[in-house]
Amino acid sequence: MADRAYLYSEDRPDAWNAPEEGYYDSRWTLPLAWFFFFKPGDIRLIDVVHGDSQWQEVRLSAEKDSALALFQLRKPLLMSIIGHRVSGDAVATFIATVNGRPGRYLLLDPDEVLGGIGCGFDDDRGHAERIAQILTILGDGSCTAEVAREITGPYVKELSPDPDRCECQILGYTYW
């Protein structure tokens, strides 16, 4: 399960182990829509210890109700970016699925993807700063679609002409 990011709900804001079911994941990218749930204050750098090694990894955590409200505020911007690539019905199903999953908090674990993205950062602190910039610029959704695509580009990549891959780049895949 390498090079994946996970979006899921939990009852604790620091439940960093992705569940075995009831989550979204992506492959090789951070899906564009996932950025639309979070604000800069939702970014966490968590300490990881493995044997004698220790490092920090980026995670995002937000109260789900607040995240869903922020998504709705930014949704017109998302729709202007994706155009005809993914239908409004698919986005509505995505939101309903995220909303319907149990748990008070919405969590994002991008670690496996960040490890494979060479944005010139030696550690996750650089990714945390870059993601904070993205979330700041997305703000209330009033930036232009062009700016939003430019700032998310290193993580989302060029949207694929293949409809299935493109949907993964925008919404991710779900596992019940």
- Whether residue 102 contacts residue 9, with contact meaning beta carbons closer than 8 Å, is answered with yes
125 phi and psi angles, rounded to 5 deg: -60, -40
- Whether residue 97 contacts residue 14, with contact meaning beta carbons closer than 8 Å, is answered with no
Residues near 128 by beta carbon (within 8 Å), at least 6 away in sequence: 43, 45, 58
Strands 173-175 and 105-109: unpaired
Q: What is the pTM of this model?
A: 0.93
The pLDDT value given to residue 63: 98
Query: Which residue has tokens 């919405």?
Result: 106
The pLDDT value given to residue 135: 98
Q: Which residues pair with 6 in a beta bridge?
A: 25, 109
Q: What span, in angstroms and rounded, lies between the C-alpha atoms of 86 and 163? A: 8
- What average pLDDT values come out for the chain (176 residues) when binned by 10 residues? 85 93 92 98 93 92 98 98 94 97 96 73 84 97 97 94 94 85
The pLDDT value given to residue 120: 58
* Backbone Cα Rg of the chain: 15
Q: Quick one: three-class SS letters along 85-134?
A: CCCHHHHHHHHHHHHHCCCCEEEEECHHHHHHCCCCCCCHHHHHHHHHHH
Smallest Cα–Cα separation from 44: which of 127, 141, 112?
127
- Whether residue 153 contacts residue 169, with contact meaning beta carbons closer than 8 Å, is answered with no
H or E stretch at 26: strand 23-27
- Whether residue 121 contacts residue 57, with contact meaning beta carbons closer than 8 Å, is answered with no
The pLDDT value given to residue 1: 43
Residues near 123 by beta carbon (within 8 Å), at least 6 away in sequence: 55, 56
